[in-house]
A and B are shown apart, each in its own frame.
Chain A
Amino acid sequence: MSVTALIVDDSRSIREVIRRIIRISGLGSVHCIDAANGKEGLEVLSRKKVDVVLTGVHMPEVGGLEMLAEMRKHAAFRDLPVVVVTSDAGLRCMKAAEDLHCGTFIRKPFYPEEIKRALVVTARLKETAPDERVEADTDTVDF
């Protein structure tokens, strides 16, 4: 079964890094969709079924926490698993993310294992057995 992950960050490189970590993590078939800010993220959510969101915080137009606040107003996204990945590790930012029911808060810079663990814990993705990993791949759609 394929899982769809929405990766929201204004850095194309960070989106690519997260996508690659997901691809090599052995978490099964994960379909990744990119968005460059919260506004694009909300647009993706309005027209695609997403199983987990990984988002930055400080982004142009609409930031990650604003996007998350908007999502939580809608019943369809109230329980959607969210992982926040940000350079801002201040307590206020962490508290704001927690208040919006962010499942995992990851501080940049991060180790690949932290992204993988967050997806296992927050989105309940399961590790694929090593002998099945050849088929596990990331399908990417650039927004």
Chain B
Amino acid sequence: MKELRQILIQSIFEVFEKMFYTFLEPTDARYSGFDVASGVDFRGVLSGNITLQLSHNLAKHMVSHLLNLPLDRVTDEQIEDCAKEAASMICGSFVSRADRQNAYDYSPPKFFTILNGSRPSSAEEPESIRLNFDSDSGRASVVFSLSS
């Protein structure tokens, strides 16, 4: 699990830095107060889910950086599309680093608006990892869980 955690961190950094020009700082603080989430299920030798949670401000900055748009022109539709794409890239990057040899199926990315600050997660289960991040533009969290 420790190795998977390292691979997941590398994948998250790679996606945020390359595509969204956003530098995340890992933190031990366990935040709530996220506004949007996106998730992808993967199925193969390893099966599970990766869910990305974002504060609205960070999601907005990600769109702004990706599409080179002023913040006041960022739409909710773009936030949804970018959040889904980010989860999809993190999942693809993670799975191909963790197990490059075998074939995997991926679910279409799903998007959620969070009303009460944090999506219910399986982070307390033994086979899951929760990573929290800070950035200049807001907070992010990634929850990874393996299904049995």
Specify whether A and B are partners: yes
Q: Hey, which chain A residues are within 8 Å of B114, CB to CB?
A: none
- Decide yes or no: A17 and B15 within 8 Å by CB, A89-B92, A92-B103, A108-B89 being known contacts: no
In the assembled complex, how far is the CB of residue B90 from the closest CB belonging to chain A, in whole angstroms?
Answer: 8
B116 within 8 A of A: no
Chain B interface secondary structure, helix, strand, loop or mixed?
helix
Count of A residues near B, CB < 8 Å? 23
Measured between alpha carbons, how far is A91 from B103 in the docked complex, in Å?
8
Taking a contact as CB atoms under 8 Å apart, the answer to whether A17 and B81 are in contact is no
Taking a contact as CB atoms under 8 Å apart, the answer to whether A17 and B92 are in contact is no
B61 within 8 A of A: no
Taking a contact as CB atoms under 8 Å apart, the answer to whether A86 and B84 are in contact is no
In the assembled complex, how far is the CB of residue A99 from the closest CB belonging to chain B, in whole angstroms?
Answer: 14
Taking a contact as CB atoms under 8 Å apart, the answer to whether B67 and A16 are in contact is yes
Q: Report the nearest A residue to B100, measured CB to CB.
A: A91
A2 within 8 A of B: no
Set A13, A86, A110: member contacting B78, Cβ < 8 A: A13
Count of B residues near A, CB < 8 Å? 29
Taking a contact as CB atoms under 8 Å apart, the answer to whether B92 and A92 are in contact is no
Set A60, A87, A89: member contacting B88, Cβ < 8 A: A87
Set A91, A93, A108: member contacting B19, Cβ < 8 A: A108
Chain B residues within 8 Å of A, Cβ to Cβ: 14-15, 18-19, 63, 66-68, 77-78, 81-82, 84-85, 88-89, 91-93, 95-96, 99-104, 106, 108
Chain A residues within 8 Å of B, Cβ to Cβ: 10-14, 16-17, 20, 58, 60, 86-93, 107-111
- A17-B67, A58-B88, A108-B89 are known; give 7 further A-B pairs, CB within 8 A: A12-B78, A17-B19, A86-B92, A88-B95, A88-B104, A90-B102, A110-B18
